[in-house]
Amino acid sequence: MISSHEAIQLEDQYGAHNYHPLPVVLARGEGVHVWDPEGNRYFDFLSAYSAVNQGHCHPRITETIIEQSKTLTLTSRAFYNNVLGEYEKFITSYFGLDKVLPMNTGAEAVETAIKICRKWGYEKKGINENEATIIVCDNNFHGRTTTIISFSNDPDARKNFGPYTQGFVKVVYNDLSSLREALTLPNVVGFLVEPIQGEAGVVVPDDDYIRSAAQLCKEKNVLFMADEIQTGIARTGSLLAICGDCSCAGKCERGNSYTKPDILILGKALSGGAYPVSAVLADSEIMDVIRPGQHGSTYGGNPLACKVAMTALEVIDDEKLAQNARKLGQLFREKMRELVDSTNLFVEVRGKGLLNAVIINDSPESDTAWRFCLGLKENGLLAKPTHGNIIRFAPPLVMTEEQLLECVSIIKKTVEEFDH
């Protein structure tokens, strides 16, 4: 096996420099752990940005891949395949919406949602062609395609990638009056929102924000689109972040705190990190605006992806991962709050379930969070800053309480070393 040093050199020489990874090479993963080529073991506290909620190389998901890859992997949608329909029935009943449009990556699913929303605006709402407007939020992150970066306000994501796609207006996140005002603009067809802003630094809105925003949209006949690519699939202690503070003890019941989206966007953990699988769900009156030839993807809905997604979602229920994330999240924030109180380094901890962030006592432009993450790595835990002073902590949801407490000790030890 090549060494860490060699692996880093190869990426540096032959790969586009579109990332700045932490200097650690991962060669193997199992559950909450990953190993480098030299055999050092780490706790994964990023989970591939919440894609690996079910843990690395989950045996049931791996088994599904092996079995289906020996049977049939890809047919394209030129023909029917014998898994897609079964998957469509499964996932629509799982999330409580009539229909699904299967794609591969998160950004593709967001693009799909935008296309459905605009088409619905023209054909169902009677908006004049090419005038549809979609409301988005400041500091959003929805992916990297040209249209999506057109409504980003991150200079790195945007600069020199223009000209940009038109038809988007921004509102302040977690500010209902800002949304209310934008909804008075002509030609508004949709509101696209992350129920918790992950990339912005795990920004959790007020308890009533999502529900009230959806209500305002409903009053104006505007589609409420939830991007749950990072927050969904048990990460925040409920099946979806739009479930609110649910107390479901098992399978999602969509109880009183649940807000129904008009369009639900999923990706990442839909495959447990084993394969790129994304999906857009909506009720028929919305989804039916898409007719043959108007949207698609070679790999979208392939039998391997469909099987993987079904197993990945079954694992969420069978292992009660939402409930585990809910319980461990509370414990984690409690322990981090002790560090906020007892040290100068951490000033805040925030989050929901096992999607959390600590804010470090320095500026967003500083490299303090980066240096702290290097310290964590030396002590056997991998995390990554979202800004110079914010570190996201998002371990796989299969973690045990004992493992979580071990991780808390690693973080504590690193803080103590760092303070000196």
Which residues here bind ligand PXG, judged by CB under 6 A? Answer: 49, 105-107, 110, 141-144, 194, 198-199, 227, 229-230, 267
Contact 240, 231 (CB under 8 A): yes
Check if 227 is active-site. Answer: yes
Write down the number of H helices and E strands in the chain: 14, 15
DSSP letter string over 223-244?
Answer: EEEEE-TTTTTTTTSSSSGGG-
Q: How far is the CB of 351 from ligand PXG (least distance, A)?
A: 14
Contact 194, 82 (CB under 8 A): no
Q: How far is the CB of 230 from ligand PXG (least distance, A)?
A: 4
DSSP conformation class of 272: T
Phi and psi angles of residue 370, each rounded to the nearest 5 degrees, phi first:
-60, -50
Set 227, 307, 332, 377: catalytic member = 227
Among 94, 261, 132, 146, smallest CA distance to 193 is for 261
Closer residue to ligand PXG in complex, CB, 64/197: 197
Set 95, 141, 224, 346: catalytic member = 141
Match 């409690």 to its residue by tokens: 334
> What is the distance between the alpha carbons of residues 245 and 238, in angstroms, rounded to a whole number?
7
Closer residue to ligand PXG in complex, CB, 94/141: 141
Amino acid letter, 248: C
Residue nearest to ligand PXG (CB): 106
Closer residue to ligand PXG in complex, CB, 36/194: 194
Contact 42, 68 (CB under 8 A): no
Q: How far is the CB of 239 from ligand PXG (least distance, A)?
A: 16
Closer residue to ligand PXG in complex, CB, 198/395: 198
Check if 288 is active-site. Answer: no
> What is the distance between the alpha carbons of residues 264 and 228, in angstroms, rounded to a whole number?
7
Q: How far is the CB of 265 from ligand PXG (least distance, A)?
A: 7
> What is the distance between the alpha carbons of residues 320 and 239, in angstroms, rounded to a whole number?
10
Closer residue to ligand PXG in complex, CB, 395/415: 395
User: Residues, the chain, total?
Assistant: 420
Closer residue to ligand PXG in complex, CB, 138/253: 138
Set 268, 352, 377, 384: catalytic member = 268
Check if 95 is active-site. Answer: no
**Beta pairing partners, 41:** 35
Phi and psi angles of residue 417, each rounded to the nearest 5 degrees, phi first:
-65, -35
Among 69, 51, 58, smallest CA distance to 105 is for 51
Q: How far is the CB of 395 from ligand PXG (least distance, A)?
A: 16
Three-state SS letters, 20-43: CCCCCCCCEEEECEEECCCCCEEE
Closer residue to ligand PXG in complex, CB, 144/413: 144
Q: How far is the CB of 62 from ligand PXG (least distance, A)?
A: 21
Q: How far is the CB of 228 from ligand PXG (least distance, A)?
A: 8
Active site residues: 141, 227, 268
